Amino acid sequence: MSEKDLKSVVKEKYGQIALQVESSQGCCCGPVSDCCGLDYTNFSENYESQQGYNKDADLGLGCGIPTEFAGIQPGHHVLDLGSGAGNDCFVARALVGETGQVTGIDFTDAMVEKAISNAGKLGFTNVQFVKGDIEHMPFDDNQFDVVISNCVLNLVPDKGKAFSEIFRVLKSEGQFCVSDVVVKGEMPEKLRADAEMYAGCVSGALQMEDYLAAAKNAGFKNLAVHKERKIDIPESILRQYLDDDKLTDAAFGKFGIFSITLSATKKH
């Protein structure tokens, strides 16, 4: 799938999720197949204990809680990439307080509208949502203290460009923290295709070492993986493609699909 086609499919799918009347929890975030109804809790984490959490903004589309390790302080200006209905933005807003500011960017019209509506209901004046492409962000250089993202960069066709844009918009002492989906080891192509059907965020996911390299190549320092969680694919799917030895390797995490939460700084 070309970069243009991939973006079109992602935009269409997220638009459909945003426009659903009932909660989208249980829907996958991947662009390849319609996997709504599958057990998406393989990825998502429970936000209910997070200060600032707003149930209406939680569509269950994340794979971690990046605000936990982002170092967000009162007065910071935080940018959330792929902000959806505003879930992580509202948690970040509780951390920056009245003196800080939170900006969410999403390239799906319906998501931006939903987030703006949610912010209006909450009466927030220091949270804004804009439409834009993560590979070409409409922001000045050195604008943000912290950049966060939750299960979004894996769906961006050019990860190198995305990390370069993050580096550009961060202040000199800034840092990012993202939760995302990566792959470890070589998965048979047909197994990966079936895994995408089961957990759609796999589509577009890089090998973990390539993901970390993309961040390093953009200039980031002090990379730290704070969380790493294996995504369980049903054994009934695995056995179609793996012998007993490979099943053991998968069980011990030598290869498979993982959600990670990664942070890095712009300077040493």
Range of the domain at 111: 3-265
Compute the distance between CA of residue 16 and CA of residue 27 in angstroms, rounded to an integer: 11
Residue-wise burial string across 250-262, b where 16 or more C-beta atoms lie within 10 A, e elsewhere: beeeebbbbbbbb
Q: Which residues 6+ apart lie within 8 Å of 201 measured at CB? A: 28, 29, 30, 43, 63, 151, 154, 155, 181
- With a cut of 80, say whether residue 56 has pLDDT above it: yes
Structure tokens, 61: 């589309």
| Mean pLDDT of all residues belonging to the chain | 82
Quick: pLDDT tens for 75-97.
999 999 999 999 999 999 999 99
pLDDT (0 to 100) of residue 52: 96
pLDDT (0 to 100) of residue 40: 41
Quick: pLDDT tens for 149-193.
998 898 888 999 999 999 999 999 999 999 998 988 877 666 666
Nearest to 74 by CA among 145, 3, 22, 12: 145
Quick: pLDDT tens for 1-54.
556 555 665 556 655 665 663 444 444 444 333 443 334 445 678 899 999 999
pLDDT (0 to 100) of residue 196: 56
Query: How many domains does one find in the chain?
Result: 1
CATH of residue 25's domain is 3.40.50.150
Quick: pLDDT tens for 94-150.
999 999 999 999 988 889 999 999 999 999 999 999 999 999 999 999 999 999 999
Between 249 and 23, residue with greater pLDDT: 249
Of 108-112, 121-125, 224-228, 230-234, minimum mean pLDDT range = 230-234
Percent of the chain predicted with pLDDT > 90: 53
